[in-house]
Amino acid sequence: MNLALGGLGLPGNTPWLSNVNWVMFGIALSSLWWHVGISMVLFLAGLQDIPPELREAAMIDGAGSWQILLYITLPLLRPVAILVFTLALIDAMKVFGQPWFMTNGGPAGASTTVVYDLYLNFQSTQMGYAAAIGFLLLVIILLVALVRQFTLKEEVI
């Protein structure tokens, strides 16, 4: 990242993983890069699912590229966008790999996440506490999924 920033003429000496203030931002950037692939595959599948006849009919009716994007493509991609948003939110709540691989919870515990804390408690034989953390995480993820289900209803076309 520092090399890319330096190539753009910006300061390229940010301590992404060794500074307490920057470590979570660095892990968030790597998590974004980690999950962008599946999101793009889902959006590509959603784009391929849009019937080309709808775009052709809109073009015949005189719609421009922006109108086709705003009134046909984006509304038909709404269910995919909701799915991608939900998966990203759940993945953000259960992140473990990036802090473990990149910083081992450091510096000074600044990159410790809930699941990483669960792992540490499990390793230190505090099984009851680890189980309680896991159960509460399950309840929170379930509540988020239910709230998403009832607030962002997917319309079937």
91-123: per-residue pLDDT in tens? 888 889 888 888 888 788 888 899 999 999 999
Identify which has the larger pLDDT, 7 or 37. 37
* pLDDT over threshold 70, residue 155: no
- Dig out the tokens for 94 from the structure: 């259960």
Task: Provide the 8-state DSSP code for 9.
Answer: T
Look at the pTM and tell me if it is higher than 0.85. no
Region 2-151: CATH code? 1.10.3720.10
Identify the pLDDT of residue 53.
95
* pLDDT over threshold 90, residue 128: yes
CB 93 within 8 A of CB 84: no
Helical packing angle, 127-151 and 114-123, nearest 10°: 160
In the chain, the percentage of residues whose pLDDT exceeds 70 is 97
Identify the pLDDT of residue 9.
83
Domain boundaries, the chain: 2-151
pLDDT digits (tens, 9 = 90+) for 41-54: 999 999 999 999 99
Q: Is the bond leading into 107 cis (omega within 30 degrees of zero)?
A: yes
pLDDT digits (tens, 9 = 90+) for 53-96: 999 999 999 999 999 999 999 999 998 998 898 899 888 888 89
